[in-house]
Amino acid sequence: MRIAMIGTGYVGLVSGACLSEFGHEVVCIDKDQAKIAELNKGRVPIFEPGLDEVVAANARAGRLSFACDLSAAVSQADAVFIAVGTPSRRGDGHADLSFVFGAAEEIARALDGYTVVVTKSTVPVGTGRKVEDIIRKLRPTAEFDVASNPEFLREGSAIEDFRRPDRIVVGAETERARNVLKEVYRPLYLNETPIVFTSRETSELIKYAANAFLATKITFINEMADLCEKVGADVQEVARGIGLDGRIGGKFLHAGPGFGGSCFPKDTLALLKTSQDANAPVRIVETVVAVNESRKARMAEKIIEAFGGVKGKTIAVLGLTFKPNTDDMRDAPSLVIVPKLQAEGARIRAYDPEGAHEAKKVLEVETCEDAYEALAGADGVVILTEWNEFRALDLERVKGLLKKPLMVDLRNIYRPAQMAEAGFTYVSVGRATVG
């Protein structure tokens, strides 16, 4: 099967590479000539574990290629995926669909023979219909269907998520389109991965509902963490105690500094706009957005309090990205926390295993080559992202490097008892402060 993937951002690149691994012939298209030139040299512009290898192996096998010419790829394709960006539109939180509609116009001009056009970008309900209208208007007699196929990949584990998804969601209006998508996902279909075939609108909403629900779960446990701190309970035990109930489930119940990234903040906002336009408010999600936003600033206050004021102090910050195993800084809690600490007079020495380069573009921060370099001579350390390498720091060495043994751990990667024993003052989230 021949596939054209429009957009070589995160979703397009991972999906294109993994679909070629399924045996399809995939051309990934992007307007950015420099990026395509790099990809053709085997250089992958984002950090995602395992992606380099999948790209290299399939490019070598001749199944995966990169090009700027959309029309050649689309005219030969059985399925064309739209995986371009849908950023929040400036000012109102609506998803900006100009890239999606622009791609639809270009696809329309290039269609040749029956083709299924698939929106993979996260798009508001009703977008598939609009894409169909755009194409129909430009090419009234073209043979095509427009389907929705949202992705549920997590940054940092996207390759695994693609190979072994919990489910695939396909919104399609015709049997012909459904059959093409069944063929696209054939290896997974044979593996008995559940495929939810539904209408386009339902499929589009499933994506937003899933992300909003997960964001709600995180926000719920974050508020429970605040309550735990007040009443002397332990949020990790609360999470375990409720998560063992199969109806609740233990995942996405890690309290922390608030959710960030390229998806939850943008998608919850876009869902709110859709719900307001439809006059069907989703008040829970409204609250989730507000609570999460204020949480990041409150985390800075928590740090300031733990340090007894930060004016003139040096703080070692471990982790800047919104989560581990990515270099993505979009909506990372560090973007709120670090400037607030700096505004209060702190000097920040940060270390992030993969994010320093991206972080430098959005934060004015001194970065170090490793955790211990950041710690040397600092007044205390703050853990903002739970990279694995921070889980097993040599605590004696850490203590020796810091002016005072103070750790603020906003990801709860250490145990209070262990930290007390190691002689630290240890402040975490939703658990008792020790030392």
The residues assigned a catalytic role are: 263
* Candidate list 26, 82, 103, 253; residue touching ligand UGA; CB under 6 A: 253
Q: Please tell me whether residue 256 binds ligand UGA under the rule CB under 6 A.
A: yes
155 makes contact with ligand UGA (CB under 6 A): yes
Per-residue burial over 393-432, b = 16 or more CB atoms within 10 Å of its CB, e = otherwise = bebeebeebbeebbbbbbbbbbebeebeebebbbbbbbbe
DSSP 8-state assignment for residue 250? S
Compute the least distance from the CB of residue 346 to ligand UGA, in Å. 23
One residue of 218, 282, 300, 427 binding ligand UGA per CB under 6 A: 218
Q: What is the token pair recorded at 204?
A: 């589009």
To ligand UGA, the closest distance from the beta carbon of 221 in angstroms equals 7
- Helices 264-277 and 200-231 cross at an angle (nearest 10°) of 120
The sheet with strand 366-367 has its strands ordered as 366-367, 347-351, 314-318, 380-383, 406-409, 425-427
Q: Which of these ranges, 103-111, 113-121, 148-156, 340-348, lies near ligand UGA under the rule CB under 6 A?
A: 148-156
Q: Is the Cβ of residue 4 or residue 218 nearer to ligand UGA in the bound state? A: 218
Query: CA–CA separation, 73 vs 4, rounded Å?
Result: 6
Instruction: Check residue 25 for interaction with ligand UGA (CB under 6 A).
Output: no
- Judged by CB under 6 A, does residue 303 bind ligand UGA? no
Stretch that binds ligand UGA, among 124-132, 152-160, 274-282, 425-433 (CB under 6 A): 152-160
Site string for ligand UGA, 88-127 (x = CB under 6 A): ----------------------------------x-----
Binders in 375-404 for ligand UGA, by CB under 6 A: none
Alpha helices (H) in 253-394, listed in sequence order: 264-277, 283-306, 334-343, 356-362, 371-375
What minimum distance in Å lies between the beta carbon of 89 and ligand UGA?
Answer: 17
Identify which of residues 197 and 252 has a Cβ nearer to ligand UGA in the complex.
Answer: 252
Q: Judged by CB under 6 A, which stretch of 146-154, 294-302, 310-318, 423-431 contacts ligand UGA? A: 146-154
CA distance 434 to 430: 12
In the complex, minimum distance from the CB of residue 53 to ligand UGA, in angstroms, rounded to a whole number: 20
Full DSSP string of 153-173: --TTSHHHHHHS-S-EEEE-S
Shortest CB 321 distance to ligand UGA, Å: 9
For residue 52, what is the DSSP state?
Answer: H
Residue of 121, 127, 211, 274 that binds ligand UGA (CB under 6 A):
211
For the chain, what's the residue count?
435
The stretches of 22-66 forming alpha helices (DSSP H) are 33-40, 51-60
Q: Are 89 and 152 in contact (CB under 8 A)?
A: no
Sequence-separated (6 or more) residues with CB below 8 Å from residue 429: 222, 225, 235, 255, 256, 257, 409, 410, 411, 412
Answer for which of 189, 197, 252, 372 binds ligand UGA (CB under 6 A) is 252
Which alpha helices (H) appear in 165-199, and where do they start and end?
A: 175-184, 186-190
The one segment of 18-26, 58-66, 106-114, 153-161 that binds ligand UGA by CB under 6 A: 153-161
In the complex with ligand UGA, the residue whose CB is nearer, 81 or 264, is: 264
Containing 331, the helix (H) or strand (E) segment is none
Site for ligand UGA in 313-342 (CB under 6 A): 322-323
Structure tokens at 110: 């290039």
How many other CB atoms sit within 10 Å of the CB of residue 123?
Answer: 23
**Which of 94, 120, 200, 254 is the binder for ligand UGA (CB under 6 A)?**
254
**Cα 340 from Cα 172, distance rounded (Å):** 47
Binding mask 257-286 for ligand UGA (x = CB under 6 A): --xxx-xx--x-------------------
Cβ at position 218, least distance to ligand UGA in Å: 4
- Rounded to a whole number of angstroms, the minimum distance from the CB of residue 259 to ligand UGA is 3
Report CA 48 to chain centroid distance, whole Å. 11
Which positions lie near ligand UGA, rule CB under 6 A?
122, 151-155, 211, 214, 218, 252-254, 256, 259-261, 263-264, 267, 322-323
